[in-house]
Structure 1
Amino acid sequence: MTGKHAGHSFSADSITLSDALSRIFSEEPTTRPTAETILPPNRIFGMVTWEIEGLARTALWSDPGPGNGPPKRLFVPQPLRSKVLDWAHSSLFTCHPGIHRSLSFIRRHFWWPSTEADTRKFIAACCICSRNKANHSPPAGLLHPLLIPSRPWSHIAFDFITGLPPSNGNTTILTIIDRFSKAAHFIPLPKLPSSAETTELLVQHVLAPRFVGPYTVRSRVNPAAVCLDLPHSHSYVSGQTSSLSPPIPAPPPPRVLKDGDQVWTVREILQVRRRGRGWVYLEDWEGYGPGDRSWVPASYIADPSLIEDFYRTHPEAPRSSSGVLHKGGVEVLLWVTLLLHLLLLRALTSAPQATSTGVLYPLRARFRAAADAQQSTHLSVMSDQPS
């Protein structure tokens, strides 16, 4: 077929060729491919089932559950829940996923009221996850040592022993240890107590007066040990004292002066140091050990020769600037006090007098009398010093 239009000629073969070229890049294919599966249809016999589902269906005969669960899910009785958790978390096709993935996999087939709480506890106790998964929590910081107790039952440590065979209805033991004396209390319990019940047990078995003391002394074993009347529930790890140790002598009694004051004999003065505006001395007492040494102010020393002997044997020891020590070991500061009073008196006497009365101010007369009394006291004290 041929034709002519506006000076151009065309044929039917050219029209067919152009129509075929326009269909090469068509957006929608003329025929759709058929869907193919890995296994042919004649090889598929049924759905895959899990062994744990069969166990759950069998357990429903003895424990059918509350009957208010979600549809198309099996209720899991209490004895079978650990197996379901292990199947959903530790099997080869799950490979220890996290909490949310394990929980989502369980909820596809099973349910029970505490599904989420039991799943979190199971995964938190999984040793494989603990060893191989990184911890994203902030660091807890450095460990601090426990405080050293200074008396019995001020610091305690307690723990629970669980999973024991039943004995008189009890399967748990609460152990309470005194960190000072290592005394132990063992309390049998029927089950693991709550925090409130544990507090009541501590108050009843530890803080009661019959356990804390004081206790009655039965007898004196030796100078370093006594026998106490303790409760039967106490168990002590006591040390042993040798019977061959020499007896400890009693410290000497204090002497009584004429005025009724008690004094103790000083072996020697060891050191001196500043305290406030005066000095204190470290004294070694006659008949007492090094642990009984004490710092005593100079006014408490009845014999001034002790201080003189100390400065004679320790000339490098610190002392007052004037180097004068009075009776009783009191450092004399009267020179400084007298100088201050004289300066103040000169300032007052050089001030203008009152024009209304023509006499000195009463304050000026008071300071002049105090200065005279201070000067006379200083002179009397200096006259008492040994030459």
Structure 2
Amino acid sequence: MGVAGYLAHGTTKQVEQQMDRLSRSAILKVADTTEIIVALYANQLAAHAHLYAARESPQQAEQSSPLSERHGLLESHRAAVEDGLARQNQAAESMIRWAESRGLNELAERERTQTLETLRQLRQEFEKHLQIQNEFLAIVEKDPDQAEAFLEGRLCDHFETQLLPRLAAYRKQAENELTQSVRAIERAMVVADQRRSLLIVVAAVGAVLMGLFMSRAIGKPLAALQHAAEEIGRGRFDVQVPVRSRDEIGMLAGSIHQMAVDLRESTVSRSYLDNIIQSMQEMLIVVDPELRVRHVNQAACAELEYSQEDLNGRSFRELFAEEEISDGERFPEILSSGIECFMQTGLGRRFPAHCSAAEMNLNFRRFYDGYCY
């Protein structure tokens, strides 16, 4: 019994170590990388908005956001990316110190040669991106046409072919680490359950009552923790861990619960981009390859006199006057260069607008985002 108890204690320590490692590395990588990607997309949208504003007539310019405010948006998105990269670098250095303090030299070396090196390359690419963007800002005030060509040929190209693929690969690596850590915890839980069963088998008849007590005191919490780990592995981060004891199992339960909370909070970063979109004064409409509306902001609902439910799933062409969509198949291509057109509200009212579209590739699916004002 003493040997089995010692082995179970050792398994619990292994699980705690895995949980500590998980909270220090994979969770932070996934959460911060998501915020960085969202901020970069927002930065690209702000650059497009800057170009569109430069093309406005004097009357339209009076109604648009001032130049200082548009520069402020760019700076805030840049700061969000820089803060995310800085947090990742600090987390990697903390992970190295933690691994070295526990004799995990292989893990420390991997963090040093892979994670820190990847972060260094990401920072270099982001600094290049900032240089290109600064060149764009210098051009846009002088020659909007030249700035548009520069935006598509240099800024967007660098974002899509250099910066974004590196971030996507880094995020994929973090997700793999997260999955492997959760599976390692599940395996440790299975081992702990097997050793608990062995403890019951070898116990003497006289220790039956003690065995039953231990089964209730240890078995039920372990089963609950195993179930919680499995649920987290399936992506259900709202799982509750019904363990309130103050022993090692309780501490482990607290770690699992905190991990679920951290993962759940990391998904909130997705709403960051939604908040930006909803606060825009211009209309923003996202459509799928079939030109069906998938997402709109509040400005689009107000201008088009539709509710968001009525717009979702509606054909994008229905929002324009009939003469504007004579060539339906090339409609997204026509919009990509920006056009002056007439849009049509849900009540049949027509109004002039300047519209442009850009293609987005998210999770191997193609979308178009339309920007109208």
Length-normalised TM-score, structure 1: 0.20
Q: Which has the higher contact order (CA 8 A, sep 6+)?
A: 2
Normalized per residue, which structure has more helix? Answer: 2
